[in-house]
Amino acid sequence: MTISTIKSRPIYPGLSPDLNARSNFIVCDKSGAAAVAELFARADSQFAKRSTIIIADPVSDADAKTLASELSPGTIEFLPSLAEGIARLHDTLQSAPMGLRLYAAGTEPLIGSVVQAAANYGIDHLSIRTEHRGSLQRRVQCVHCKGFIENVTTNPVTCTHCGLTLMVRDHYSRRLAAFQGVCIDAEVPGDVPPTEALYQ
């Protein structure tokens, strides 16, 4: 669970099984797969059979075979990128029946992208069960040029679109699935603190 004084900062309570759901759709990456295994261990024997898992991360054939065996859900799909995982989620939500429960486990960009996609179908973020696992990397939007910077691990960071040096704030936009980056030396150009690796 992440704690921040900024109210928009997401909190990820951890995965817990909804035993009343008719079906479960789970999006995760390799790190999040461990959280899914723990979720299944806390559920009854039928929970996994009612579950579809999308692992949106490059996975070797050997790792895919191991994960499929360890998790043993009703359906498991391996997609090589988060973008393809989210596209698959969109396909599912377009025709999802009542009683589907959505889960997301892994990095913040993955969780944010799942929440963002689900909002397009009227699914409230509070109804999605989430757990952060793995890297603390962030997706950041430059508030000046509106460009997005992926996989940010340092603060400050240079905007790859406009070149400004940005302070990465804890302020988060669910609509954009991104943290906000603000020019750090607007008042005194060149007055930039040392770069710190904060989001490894």
128-143: pLDDT as tens digits: 999 999 999 999 999 9
pLDDT at 45: 85
- Quickly name the fold that domain 23-132 has: Rossmann fold (3.40.50)
How does the average pLDDT of the chain come out, rounded? 95
How does residue 199 score in pLDDT terms, banded at 50, 70 and 90?
Answer: very high
Residue 150 has pLDDT above 70, yes or no: yes
Backbone angles phi, psi at 98, to 5 degrees: -60, 150
Say how many C-beta atoms besides its own lie within 10 A of residue 156's C-beta: 22
Tell me which of 8 and 99 has the higher pLDDT. 99
Helices (H), the chain: 30-41, 61-71, 82-94, 108-119
Q: Calculate mean pLDDT across residues 154-177.
A: 96
pLDDT at 4: 57
How big is the CA angle at 85 (ends 79 and 86), to the nearest 5 degrees?
165
- Measured CA to CA, the distance from residue 75 to residue 26 in angstroms comes to 10
- Measured CA to CA, the distance from residue 2 to residue 66 in angstroms comes to 30
Is this structure's pTM higher than 0.75?
yes
Residue 65 has pLDDT above 90, yes or no: yes
Residue 62 has pLDDT above 60, yes or no: yes
**Secondary structure class of 101 (helix, strand, coil):** strand
Could you read off the pLDDT of 1-55 as tens digits, one per residue?
444 567 788 999 999 999 999 999 999 999 999 999 999 999 998 999 999 999 9
Distances (CA, A) of 147 to 67, 80, 107: 36, 24, 20
pLDDT at 5: 66
Comma-separated ranges of CATH 3.40.50.80 domains in the chain = 23-132
- Measured CA to CA, the distance from residue 60 to residue 179 in angstroms comes to 31
Q: Calculate mean pLDDT across residues 151-155.
A: 96
Q: Calculate mean pLDDT across residues 164-170.
A: 96
pLDDT at 1: 44
